[in-house]
Structure 1
Amino acid sequence: MIKSKALIVYILAFGIFGIINTEMGIIGILPLIAENFEISVSQAGLLVSLFALAVAIAGPFLPLLFSGMNRKSAMLLVLGLFVATNVISIFAPNFTIALIARVIPAFLHPVYFSVAFTAAASSVSKDQAPKAISRVFMGVTAGMVIGIPITSLIAEVSSLEIAMLFFAIVNAAAFVAILIFVPSMPVTERLSYGTQLGVLKKPLTWIAIATVIFINSGMYAVYSFFAEYMDAVTRMTGGQVSLMLVLFGATGIAGNILAGKLLTNNAMKTAIVFPFVFGAIYLLVYFLGNFTVPMAVLIAFWGVLFTFGLNISQYWITSAAPEAPDFSNGLFVAFANLGVTVGTSVGGLFISGMGTRHVIWAGMIFLVLGLLTIMLRTSIYHPKKVKTV
C-alpha cells in the first residue's frame, strides 16, 4: 500500500513535469520559433508571457469550477488537452494558430496543479501532507530547469518539430500512467462555491497571498536573469551556464525532499528562517559573482533554497485555508505566477537602470517584504491555531 501511494505521488509529479516542460521548455527554442514563423523573438515571447497570464487569470477560478469533479478524470482531461494542443502547435500553419494552441491549455494548467496537490495530500495522513506535496514539486523543478536544456538539445540535434513533439510525448506518457496506475478519486464531500470563496473573507488568507507574491517575486527577480548574470558578471561560457542550470535543477530536486521534512516537523520556523538564508545567498552571489568556483557552490545552495520557496509558498496558502484545498491550491498557482511577473519586471528595471549585478537588490527587497508578512502572520496567529493541510 505504501509503495502504491508513493507511485501515485511520483506519477502526479511526472504530470506536473509535462505541463511545466510545455510552459518553460519553449524558452530554449524561441529563436527557432521566431525564425520558423518569420517574426521577431520578442513576438515569439508571447508564447511565454500569454501562457503565464492565462495561468494567473484562471488560477483562482478554474480549480473552483472543477472542485467537484473526479480528480483522476480532471487530470486526464487536462493532460489530454495538453497533448492535443501540443500536436496542433507542431503543425500550426502560422504564429496565430500556434499562439492559440498554447494559450487554451494554459487556462487548465492550475486545475491539474490544484488537483495534483490535493490528491497527494489526501493520499497520506495530514502530518505527512507537506512531504507528499514536496515530492510532487519535483515535477516543477525538473520542468523549469531541466526541461529547457533538454528541449534546446533536441532542437539542436534534430529539428524544431521534434523538440515540440517532446512536449506532447511527455504529456502523453503522464496521461497513460495516470490512466493505468492512479485509481478513481471521486470527491466525497463537495464544498459549495460560497464556502470555498468564503476563505477570501479571512485576513489570514490575504496575508498568505501577499507572502506568496513577495517570496516568488524575490526568487524570480533574480532567477529570471540567471543566464544573463552568469554571462555578464561571472563571465561563464554558454556551455558552463547550461551546466549551472542543470546543477541548479539537481540540487533543487534534493531541496524538495528536505523542504518536505522541515515543513512537516516545524513549518513556521522554516518559513521564518527562509528569507534570512536566501538573503545571505544573494549577498554572497553579489560579492562573489566574479568568481566561477565560488559561484558554482553558491548555485548549488541557491537551487535548494529556490524549491524551498516554492514549497513554503504552497504550504503558506493551503494552511491558511485548509477548509477549501482545491481553491487554495488554485490561489497558490495564480499568485505565484503573479509573483513571477512582478519579480521579473522589477528585476529587469534594476538591470536597465543599475546594471546586471544589482538585480540582486530587487530580490532582496521582495525577500524583506516577504519576511514582514511572514512575521505578521506568526505574530497574529499562534502556530497552534493554524491548521496544516
Structure 2
Amino acid sequence: MAQSKSLIIFILAFGIFGIINTEMGVIGILPQISQQFGITVSDAGLLVSLFALAVAISGPFLPLLFSGMNRKIAMLMVIGLFVITNVISVYAPNFTVLLIARIIPAFLHPVYFSVAFTAAANSVSKDQVPKVISKVFMGVTAGMVIGTPITSFIADVMSLEASLWFFAVVNAIAFVAILAFIPSMPVKEKLSYGAQLGVLKKPLVWISIVTVIFLNSSMYAVYSFFAEYLDTVTHMTGKQISLMLVLFGVTGMAGNLLAGKLLSNRAIATAIVFPFVFGVIYLLAYLLGNFTIPMTIIIALWGVLFTLGLNISQYWITSSAPEAPDFANGLFVAFANLGVTVGTLIGGMFIASMGTHHVVWSGIIFLALGFVTIMLRTSLGSKKARSKLTLTNH
C-alpha cells in the first residue's frame, strides 16, 4: 500500500515536471528559436511571458470548472493536450503557430497542478499533507532547474527540433504512467461553484493571496536575473553559471524535504521566520557578490530557501480555504505566477535605474511587505481561533 502511494506521488510529480519542463525549458533555446524563425530574442521571449500570463488568467477559474471531474481523467486530458501541442511545436511552419501551440495548453496548466496537489493531499492523513505536497513540488524544482540545461544541451548537440521533441516525449511518458498506474479518482463530494467561490468572502483568503504575490515577487525579482547577477557582479564564466544553476536545483530538492518537515510541525513559525532568513541571504549576496567561493555557499542556501518559499506559498493559500482544495490550489498557481510577473518587472526596473548589483533590494522590499501580510494573517487567524474557543466554552 505504501509502495503504491509512493508510486502515485512520483507520477503526479513527474506530470508536473513535464508541464514545468515545457514552460521553463524553452528559456534555454530562445536564441535558436529566434534564429530559426527570423525574429528577435525579445519576440521569442513571448513564448515564456504569454505562457505565464495564460496560467495567471486561467488559474482561478478553470480548476473550478474541472473540480467535479474524475481527477484521473482531468490529468489525462491536460497531459494529453501538452503532448499534442508539443508535437505541433516541432513542426510549426512559423512563429505564430509555435506561439499558439504554447499558449493553448498553458490555460490548462493550473488544472493539472490543482488536481495533482488535491489528489496527493487526499492520499494521506491531514498531518502528513505538507510532506506529501513537498514531494510533488519536486516536479516543479526538477522542471525549473533540470529542464532548461537539458533542453539547451539537446538543441546544441542535436537540433532545435530534437529539443522540442524532448518536451513531447516527457509528457507522453507522464501520460502513459497516469493511464497505467493511477487509479480512478472520482470526486466523492462535489462542491457547488457557489460554495467554492464563497471562500473569496473570507478576509483570511485575500490576505493569503496578497502574501503569495509578495513572497513570489520577492523570490523572482532576483532569481529572474540570477545568471546576469553572476555574470556582471561575480564575473563567473558561462560554465560556472550553469554549474551554479545545477547547485541551486540540487539544494532546492533538499529544500522541498525540509519544507515538508517544517510545515508539518511548525508552519506558522516557519512562515514568520522565512522573510528574515531570506533577507539575510540577499544581504550576503549583495555584500559578497564579488567573491566566487562565498557566492557558491550563498547559492546553495538560496536554493533551499527558494523551494521552501514555494511550499510556504502553497500551504498559505490552501490552509486558508481547506473546504475548497481544488479552487484554493488554482488560486495558488494563478497568484504565484502573478508574483513571478510582478517581481520580474520590478527587478528589471531596479536593474535599469540602479544597476544589476542593486537588484537584491527589490527582493528585500517584497520580503518586508510579505512579512507584514504574514503577521496580519497570523493575527487574524489567532483572533478567529480565540472567538471559536469562546463560543465553544459558552
Residue 354 of structure 2 corresponds to: 354
Alignment partner of 1:333 is 2:328? no
Alignment map for 1:168-187 (pairs within 5 Å) = 168-187=168-187
What is the CA-CA distance between 1:7 and the residue it aligns to? 1.1
What is the CA-CA distance between 1:27 and the residue it aligns to? 0.4
Take 1:370 and 1:20, find their aligned partners in 2: how far apart are those partners?
A: 25
Aligned-CA RMSD value: 1.2
Q: Which amino acid aligns with 2:8?
A: I
Residue 222 of structure 1 corresponds to: 222
Aligned-partner SS, 2:191? coil
Alignment partner of 1:102 is 2:95? no
Take 2:290 and 2:380, find their aligned partners in 1: how far apart are those partners?
A: 43
| Contact 2:71–2:187 under 8 Å retained in 1 | yes
Alignment partner of 1:273 is 2:278? no
Identity across matched positions, percent: 77
Take 1:240 and 1:339, find their aligned partners in 2: how far apart are those partners?
A: 28
Residue 373 of structure 1 corresponds to: 373
Runs of 4+, deviation exceeding 6 Å: none
| Contact 1:268–1:383 under 8 Å retained in 2 | no
Residue 315 of structure 2 corresponds to: 315
Alpha carbons of structure 1 residues 134 and 3: separation in structure 2 relative to 1, 3 Å? same
Residue 204 of structure 1 corresponds to: 204
Aligned-partner SS, 1:186? coil
What is the CA-CA distance between 1:383 and the residue it aligns to? 8.9
Take 1:126 and 1:97, find their aligned partners in 2: how far apart are those partners?
A: 45
Gaps of 5+ in 2: 387-394
Deviations 1:34-92 (A, max 9, x none): 11011111111110111000000000000000000000100010000000000000000
What is the CA-CA distance between 1:384 and the residue it aligns to? 8.8
Residue 189 of structure 1 corresponds to: 189
Residue 306 of structure 2 corresponds to: 306
Aligned-partner SS, 1:68? coil
Q: Which amino acid aligns with 1:234?
A: T
Alignment partner of 1:213 is 2:195? no
Take 1:384 and 1:70, find their aligned partners in 2: how far apart are those partners?
A: 34
Take 1:383 and 1:55, find their aligned partners in 2: how far apart are those partners?
A: 34
Take 1:279 and 1:385, find their aligned partners in 2: how far apart are those partners?
A: 30
Structure-1-length-normalised TM-score: 0.98
Residue 36 of structure 1 corresponds to: 36
| Contact 2:114–2:326 under 8 Å retained in 1 | yes
| Contact 2:204–2:380 under 8 Å retained in 1 | no
Take 2:385 and 2:127, find their aligned partners in 1: how far apart are those partners?
A: 15
Structure-2-length-normalised TM-score: 0.97
Residue 261 of structure 1 corresponds to: 261
Take 1:229 and 1:140, find their aligned partners in 2: how far apart are those partners?
A: 23
Deviations 1:154-213 (A, max 9, x none): 111100000010000000001111111110100000000000000000000000000000
Alignment partner of 1:48 is 2:44? no
Take 2:175 and 2:2, find their aligned partners in 1: how far apart are those partners?
A: 22
Take 1:380 and 1:114, find their aligned partners in 2: how far apart are those partners?
A: 26
Residue 139 of structure 1 corresponds to: 139
Take 1:35 and 1:354, find their aligned partners in 2: how far apart are those partners?
A: 32
What is the CA-CA distance between 1:380 and the residue it aligns to? 1.9
Give the paired residue count: 387
| Contact 1:263–1:270 under 8 Å retained in 2 | yes
Take 2:280 and 2:72, find their aligned partners in 1: how far apart are those partners?
A: 42
Q: Which amino acid aligns with 1:34?
A: S
Q: Which amino acid aligns with 2:152?
A: S
Deviations 1:93-152 (A, max 9, x none): 011100000000000000000000000000000110010000000000110111111110
Deviations 1:209-264 (A, max 9, x none): 00000000000000000000000000000000000000000000111011011100
Take 2:365 and 2:374, find their aligned partners in 1: how far apart are those partners?
A: 14
What is the CA-CA distance between 1:381 and the residue it aligns to? 1.2
Residue 163 of structure 1 corresponds to: 163
What is the CA-CA distance between 1:309 and the residue it aligns to? 0.4
Q: Which amino acid aligns with 1:198?
A: G
What is the CA-CA distance between 1:385 and the residue it aligns to? 3.7
Alpha carbons of structure 1 residues 383 and 157: separation in structure 2 relative to 1, 3 Å? farther
Residue 232 of structure 1 corresponds to: 232
| Contact 1:118–1:326 under 8 Å retained in 2 | yes
Residue 150 of structure 1 corresponds to: 150
Aligned-partner SS, 1:117? helix
Take 2:369 and 2:141, find their aligned partners in 1: how far apart are those partners?
A: 24
Aligned-partner SS, 1:381? helix
Take 2:354 and 2:40, find their aligned partners in 1: how far apart are those partners?
A: 27
Q: Which amino acid aligns with 1:205?
A: V
Q: Which amino acid aligns with 1:59?
A: G
Residue 16 of structure 1 corresponds to: 16
Aligned-partner SS, 1:382? helix
Q: Name the stretch that deviates more: 145-154 or 327-336.
A: 145-154
